[in-house]
Each structure stands twice: as structure tokens, then as C-alpha cells.
A = this chain, B = another copy of it.
């Protein structure tokens, strides 16, 4: 009896000591970040000295060069590039659009969708058919669509608490809409910007590009313009016409790079925990929240651990993925090389939902029992820092290919608060000034904390 009791007590003590150690380490991580944090000033450099960095552009290359230098300046064990061929789409001249109401021409804020083709040089002018779903196209058929500009105008559903769900359910209009309308002979497509915010900024984003040569020009118009156009269509129907002009085009694929920093593992140097975001951005602003914050948080997580003198058991990487926005080539390349080099990946964290105040993490493909155990072990440690929501579902575009290529990896999505993301997403509003220093830092510290916990305890 006594021995048993003693063992039990020892076990409890061990557990408590471990938890106390973890708790202490997390406090150190947050102190380091909140007192000595560098990601905000790094983000400032990325946004203001490099700015927009669409895949294949000279500024994307500048971002790669600077990102590598930044990583090297921190003295990590290894910094390297992963070459990858990326699409090179360019916007060309600033787009123009107008609603034509008799003799009145109303200028409209428009931006070509990423990967869209140009209009003919003289522009397109045509009647407009407003639709709210892809299915509606089938009902209208060629008779209702041919020669017209299809106007996708289904707004965000505001009832979703997470704006990502609203984006998820409205997003098919932008991604699939143009190619679907092309099949019925539409002259062009305009899409209501994917935001709940009522503003005059077009929010761009990738649309599906067909190989068939049957692509039609497609642009996003602002929500204010969409409401105006819709109201005029209701009032005057066929009398309303729409004019737009885009000169965007696809150049040959271009050599670019993922940028990777590594802290070598002391026990399992060939096992990896990675954290990453994407270095490329849309070209309408500075790619601050999408995804400057993510890349700067990723390298910051490693910086924190190194600054604290932490020697990880497993190798830890920060990855700046290239080409998330219009091709996912960087994410695919990283996974391909991981498989090729037989690198076991324990976990991959992606931060690509903005640098907003932390809420928690989403875990992809873990069993309910494992998620319960993750919550049991770590929720109490992360909750005091506002990152305690450990939920099912996660991952992200850049890390998803790892699922197939490095079986057993746990994919994790960093979950910041989602309310403000689509106010800035893919628009001219996505600038440094809309990032809060503390929100950004708390996110970086939460990722360093999770990496530490995974490194120490794994998922068992």
C-alpha cells in the first residue's frame, strides 16, 4: 500500500513539475515577445520597403532575398531556399469600369481577378445578368447568358460567427463563377467583392483559369458598386449596360523560392515541427495581414525559442511559402521535397488568417480522443494567453500537401479572431497600419508556445 501510494504521489509530483515547467516556459515565451518582440518592425519593413509581392514579380524576389537575410541575421542553425517555378500573372494597366445608365456613366471600383484574362483592347460593353449562384447559370442557359456580363452578387451571410465560413460559402462565385459562365458564352464576369464590409474597395483573389483557351475576363467590383448596380438592374433591367477594361495577362512561369530557417533538433534532428505563412501577396496593397503577419510571426516563433536558449528535441522550421495566392506551388514543392528527403514531419502550423488577436488552434485530422487529450493537456496552459480554443479542423493551403507526402503529420491552423479579416483581405486596405502590434506579438508567442509543447510532449 505504501509503495503504491508513494508511486502515485511521485507520479502526481512529476506531472505537476512538468506542468509547472511548461507554465514557466510559456510565461518566458510571452515575456520575451512582449518586451523584445521584433515581428512588428520586421512587418513594417516588409510592407513599406518591399510592399506588394505577387508571385513572379521583382518585388517577390526582393522579399525572398530580404527574408533569407533576416533569417540569417538571427543565427539559426540553417537557412536555405527551395527553388520552385511559379505562375507569373500581371495586372497591367489599372482597370476601368462603368455602369451605363442611358447617357449617364457611373464609374465603378473594379480589380481584375487573379489569373483572369484581359478584355479585348477596346474593352467590353454588354448587358448584365445578375445571379446569386452557380446553379442559376444552368437554369439560365446559353439563351440567358450568351454575350452578357454575368454579375455574381450573393453577399456574405452575416449570420456566420466566423467570417471564414461566410467566405467559404460565398467564395465559389469568385473561384468557379467565371469559368462556369464562360461555358454558356458569357462575355465577361463581375463578382461582388468577398467581404461583408460595405466599402468602395475591390477585393481581388484567384479565379480558376481554364486551359481550354475559353477564359473570359473577370473582375471584382466593390460591395458599394455591387449594391448600386443591383438596384439599377432592379429598376431598369435590360436598359442597364456595363463597361469594363482589363489588360492583365499571364507571363511564362518564373523561378522563385520558399525560404526556410531551421533550429536543429538535439534528439531527433530528422524529425520536424514547422510553422509557416506565405511570402507572396496580392498586388493591390502591402499584403500586411495576408500574409505578411504570418511569415513574420513564423520566423519570430523561432527567434523567441532561440533567444530563450531553448534547444529543441526535434528540428524546428519556419517556412516562408511562395505562391499561396495563385498556384500553391510553394506548398506543393515543400511537401514534395519533404517526402523526397524522407523528413518525418510531426506537426505543421500554418498562420494565414491575419495577424489578429489569438483565439486558438484548429487541428486537422486528429481523432476525437487525441483532440480531447490535447485539450486536457494544453488548454489550461494556453488559456491565460487567450489561445485556449483547441478545436477540430485546421490546416491551410500551404501545409495541406504534407498530409499525403508525410503521413502522420498533424496539420494545425493558427486561429486568430476572424471579424476584421475580410475588411482588408485582398484589397487596397491590407496595409501595415491595420495591424496591431500586440495582437501580432501575442500570435507569434502562441505559436512558439505550441511548438514548445509539441516538441516536449509530442501528441501522446
Task: Name A residues whose Cβ lies closer than 8 Å to a Cβ of B.
Answer: 30-31, 34-35, 158-159, 161, 163, 196-197, 357, 359, 384-386, 417, 419-420, 423, 436-439, 442
Contacts and interface: CB of A to CB of B under 8 A. Distances in A.
B436 A423 contact: yes
A29 B21 CA distance: 43
Contacts of A438: 158, 163, 196, 419-420
Contacts of A161: 30, 384-386, 442
A159 B32 CA distance: 9
A158 B417 contact: no
26 contacts: A30-B159, A30-B161, A31-B159, A34-B158, A35-B158, A35-B159, A161-B384, A161-B385, A161-B386, A163-B438, A196-B437, A196-B438, A197-B437, A357-B357, A357-B417, A357-B419, A386-B417, A417-B417, A419-B436, A419-B438, A419-B439, A419-B442, A420-B436, A420-B438, A420-B439, A423-B436
A381 to B, nearest CB: 13
A447 to B, nearest CB: 16
A436 B425 CA distance: 15
Given A158-B438, A196-B437, 4 more contacts: A34-B158, A196-B438, A197-B437, A386-B417
Instruction: Give the number of times this chain occurs in the complex, counting copies.
Output: 2
A297 to B, nearest CB: 15
Contacts of A159: 30-31, 34-35
A31 B160 CA distance: 9
Nearest to A160: B34
A226 to B, nearest CB: 17
Nearest to A198: B437
Nearest to A197: B437
A34 B197 CA distance: 13
Contacts of A436: 419-420, 423
**A158, A196, A386, A423 — most chain B CB neighbours (10 Å):** A158
Contacts of A417: 357, 386, 417
A247 to B, nearest CB: 34
A386 B161 CA distance: 8
Nearest to A356: B357
Contacts of A384: 161
A183 B62 CA distance: 59
A31 B196 CA distance: 15
Give 3 nearest A-B pairs by CB, closest first.
A34-B158, A419-B438, A357-B417
A425 to B, nearest CB: 14
A135 to B, nearest CB: 23
A31 B30 CA distance: 37
A197 B31 CA distance: 17
A97 B159 CA distance: 50
A136 to B, nearest CB: 22
Contacts of A34: 158-159
Nearest to A27: B159
A417 B357 CA distance: 8
**A35, A163, A417, A439 — most chain B CB neighbours (10 Å):** A417
A299 to B, nearest CB: 20
Nearest to A163: B438
A358 to B, nearest CB: 10
A386 B357 contact: no
